[in-house]
Amino acid sequence: MLSFSIILNDLTKLYTGSGKPAADPDWDFGVYQERRRLQKQDAIEAAKAYWTKRLPELPDRPALPLKQPPEQLGQATYRRLSYVVPDAVWQGLSANARANNSTIAMALLAAYTAVIERYSENEHFLINIPVFDRDIDEGVDAVVSDFTNLLLLETGVQQDADFLTLVRHTEAQFRADIAHTSYSGIQVQRDLAKLRSNTRFMAPLVYSYMIGTELMTHECKESFGSLHYMITQTPQVWIDFQIVECDGSILLSWDTAKEVFPDGLTDSMFQALTELIEQLAAAPDWHFIPDAVSAAERERFAENRSPAPPAPAQALTDAMLQYADSAPDKTALLDTVTGDTVSFGELRNKMQQLAAVLRDHGVQQGDHVGFTFARGAAQVMAAAAIAAYGACYVPIGENLPYERRERVHTQMDVRYLLTTE
């Protein structure tokens, strides 16, 4: 951002004849980088140790709805969603952030997290934050080059946490991580890729807060006019959230990869973000659980909601067992993973065996029973057996991190668990 501003300002000087670029033409970026690396060697080693320790516990990317597997995506096409923040909203947000002993930058980052979390299957994920790392003592304030470092920030809290709790968690994690940026976020991603060899796009969401540096000076606008369109197109980035100053106003924008998300999804998410920001600006009490769903989407849900159908005369599992008595050899399940088939007779026998296991372990009707199996017929048999027994089944993904599984057990009051482990 700053380098682009320098280019525009240097161009203005040359165009108007008011001066020449201020940067030393003999300055060498490679020499500068090596000198800084040697000066920060101890800090780099300490930061590397910090991130190496955290690698196993870092979350995956957000599990958002996708149009196609991003690994199969070729060259993406990007589109921009924009929101010019009204002055009253910006002033209200600033005042309410101060009232909560926070900053606008952290409030907007927490709002971004809340919206992503609302649409994601996982509560914790990584956000990529550019850290602008110019050493002004080196006289590089007029140099055009890539001084950007990256910070991989773990975000998210439990779903029932209020917004202020999310802000506090975000602030604490940011303070802990920003102290260890001597070891680049790019290198952290490389280390993470070695640990999780089957995972790409570790942190495809970006948050860039660039208030304080306006892109075009008054002289530049006088010479070339105002900026009317801008977009960033970065490989492996799905959503790039930018907060910038433009023509005296605050501009919020999302640059999104069109081929990644289902049609309309990012529009709904961005609208939910702007509505949440306006809610935060309207009142200083941030002890509320953010809905993070746009008003238009809530209205669409209400329109599509149908009256509840009458309860069936018998449970589905009762009908399954009755059918098993009359046609035990008929195919009940086809496991698309293994290709195996399960007949209704085999399904009934397995349900009865699992029901005996539940009874022997003291499971009562109405108890919550979790199960964790690889995707396939075993999942269906477990669900059917638990339901037929009169308990409540809670499917828990086998690939969920251990801490997430424990949280599900607690929140759903799971006292018993069926698993192959």
Indicate yes or no: pTM above 0.75.
no
pLDDT score of 6? 76
- Provide the CA 251 distance to its chain's centre, in angstroms: 21
Query: Which residue bears the tokens 């069936």?
Result: 312
pLDDT score of 248? 78
* Closest by CA position to 111, among listed 19, 227, 244, 243: 243
Q: In angstroms, rounded to a whole number, what is the distance separating the alpha carbons of residues 307 and 132? A: 54
pLDDT, tens digit only, all 421 positions of the chain = 667 777 787 888 878 888 777 767 777 777 777 877 787 888 889 999 999 999 888 888 888 888 877 777 777 889 999 999 999 999 999 999 999 999 999 999 999 999 998 888 888 899 999 887 766 555 677 777 666 788 889 887 776 788 999 999 999 999 999 999 888 888 888 888 888 765 666 788 999 988 877 777 778 777 887 777 777 777 788 899 999 887 778 999 999 988 888 888 899 999 999 999 999 999 999 999 887 676 666 666 555 554 555 666 778 888 888 898 999 999 999 888 788 899 999 999 999 999 899 999 999 988 999 998 887 888 888 999 999 888 999 988 877 777 777 878 888 889 899 887 6
Q: In angstroms, rounded to a whole number, what is the distance separating the alpha carbons of residues 213 and 421? A: 55
CB atoms within 10 A of CB 350: 18
Q: Reading across the β-sheet that carries 392-395, which strands appear in turn?
A: 392-395, 368-372, 414-419
Q: In angstroms, rounded to a whole number, what is the distance separating the alpha carbons of residues 330 and 340? A: 14
Task: Write out the DSSP string of 131-186.
Answer: EE---GGGT-TT--S--EEEEEEEE---TT--HHHHHHHHHHHHHHHHTTTTS-HH
pLDDT score of 107? 96
* Closest by CA position to 166, among listed 156, 180, 151: 156
- Segments of 49-105 assigned E as strands: 78-85
Q: In angstroms, rounded to a whole number, what is the distance separating the alpha carbons of residues 184 and 152? A: 9
- Provide the CA 349 distance to its chain's centre, in angstroms: 43
Domains contained in the chain, CATH given? 2-302 (3.30.559.30), 316-419 (3.40.50.980)
